[in-house]
Amino acid sequence: MFDVVIIGQGLAGLLTAIRAKQENKRVAVIAEGTGKIMQSTGFMDLIPSSSQNLDESKHLFLQKNISEELIDQSVEWFKALMNEINLPYEGSVHFLSPVVTGAGYVKNTALYPTTVRPIPNKGDILIVGLNGIIDFQPTYVKENLMKERPDLNVSTVTVDFFKGSGRVLSQVDAARAMDDKQVRARFITSLKNEMRTKEIATPDLMIFPSCLGMVNHKDVIEDLNDSIGPVTEAPGLPPNAAAIRLHDALHHYAVKKGVRFYEDETVFHAKVYDGVVTEVLTGNQTKPQAIKLKQLVVASGGILGGGLEQVSTGLSDRTLSLPITSEGTLVDPINNIFYIGSSSKMPWSETWISGGIYTISSSYSVPFTSMDEKNKRRDEKCYINQA
């Protein structure tokens, strides 16, 4: 019997699991796969593809029963958590920051990891590619960046990094290699040589693919900073190291805190009695198992996450197999089921991409009720009652 069962281990699922654990709940996460953080950039956008800050767009959030106060609280909570797990995030929902992507576009985001620095309007920029990392092409990044920031003085360089491999390598492979001090030192020497050959002066900022170390990212950034100058990661096509660091850190923390992970398991049914869900049935290749619960949080990521499927007759619920609306929520709401993140449709998005900030706040809005412990005193601070 769990107090809280969460379906999905994307950002919404992992954050909810951690917060429930902080409130001493017995928590389980049921996940079909590794979650969609892996496909992300690691940025926490306010409203995807929009440059509006919270003051300009809060009417969209407030429609979803999330108060401005709660957004601020949830962002603060997220930042504190990220500090605790050694992956600090910077930025604000009130003043968005311009960051560069792996395609060279500049977008405004709310929160970003410390491997990223906002992109300036003026100054000397060096875009650094690594041979073997085909997803990040410095000249292509430059072309796009120049459209967005014509006053920048941009140079490019590609450095030898991998000497052959058995597979197509990704930013994550480069990040893991960068964790090694010697590999890093060799890389810095090659980069300096390339810069000397191409007569590139020390830039104000270097743009890298998202590969600046997996566990030792602080050391990688420090070493680059000390020997050449400031750096930023530009996350692009997955897998980005920024995203994998985020997933790994949250997952690791949740496991350490005692969250139980039922992985490679798919929920196929929810048992409902008297308008309350009491257990879910999950299955893999073998036998179904029943997991009893008091509260169910659906964080299955909607259409992109696989929790919902668009079929000819409309939306189909792949998670609980219950009748759902075109927004992805239950036709007959059930008191102890909560839909968070992209599991249901956001008012601003036809793409069903919710953005990190909405995911953080909707996750934070789940009240961990004491369904059968009504007499127990509740810590007022911990519960945000969304009447």
Partner 1 sequence: MLYQPSLEASYDQCLKCHACTVNCPISSVSTEFGGPKQLGPELQRMTQNQGILDDASIELCTLCGTCDRTCPENIHVSSLTAYLKETHAEEVGTKFRDIVLSKAEWVGKLASTFAPVTNATMKLKPARKVMEWIMEIPAERNFPEYRFNNFKRKYKIKESTTERKVAYFAGCYATYNAPDVADSFVKVMEYNGIEVAVPKQNCCGVPMFANGQMKAGKKNAQSNIDSFLSYVDQGYDVVMTCSSCTLAMKKEYPGYMQTEEAQRLAENVYDADEYLRILYEKGELNDSLSALNDKAAYYAPCHMKGQGIGNPAMDMLELIPGYQIEDMAAGCCGQCGTFGFKKEKYSYSMALGDTMVDSKSMAESDYVVTECGMCKNQFDQLTDKEVRHPIQVLRQSYELN
Residues that bind partner 1 (CB under 8 A): 1, 28, 32-36, 38-39, 162, 165-170, 172-173, 176-177, 238-239, 244, 251-253, 255-256, 258, 260-266, 282, 284-287, 289, 292, 306
Closer to partner 1 at the Cβ: 108 or 354? 354
Please check whether residue 115 is in contact with residue 232, taking contact to mean a CB–CB distance below 8 angstroms: yes
> Rounded CA gap, 299 and 319, in Å?
10
Please check whether residue 54 is in contact with residue 93, taking contact to mean a CB–CB distance below 8 angstroms: yes
Whole-number minimum distance, CB 137 to partner 1, in Å? 19
Whole-number minimum distance, CB 176 to partner 1, in Å? 6
Whole-number minimum distance, CB 173 to partner 1, in Å? 6
Whole-number minimum distance, CB 184 to partner 1, in Å? 16
Closer to partner 1 at the Cβ: 59 or 287? 287
68 burial type by CB count under 10 A (0-12 exposed, 13-18 middle, 19+ buried):
middle
Whole-number minimum distance, CB 309 to partner 1, in Å? 13
> Rounded CA gap, 226 and 377, in Å?
53
Closer to partner 1 at the Cβ: 136 or 253? 253
The tokens for 132 are 């073997």
Query: Phi and psi for 379 in degrees, rounded to 5?
Result: -75, 110
Closer to partner 1 at the Cβ: 45 or 279? 279
Whole-number minimum distance, CB 303 to partner 1, in Å? 13
Closer to partner 1 at the Cβ: 1 or 371? 1
Closer to partner 1 at the Cβ: 176 or 184? 176
Give the long-range contacts of residues 305-312, CB within 8 A, separation 24 or more: 305/8, 305/10, 305/35, 305/36, 305/341, 305/342, 305/343, 306/32, 307/7, 307/8, 307/343, 308/343
> Rounded CA gap, 349 and 56, in Å?
16
Whole-number minimum distance, CB 213 to partner 1, in Å? 13
Listed in sequence order, the residues at least 6 apart from 192 whose beta carbon sits closer than 8 Å to its beta carbon are 227, 228
> Rounded CA gap, 254 and 18, in Å?
6
Closer to partner 1 at the Cβ: 28 or 195? 28
First-last CA distance in the chain:
28
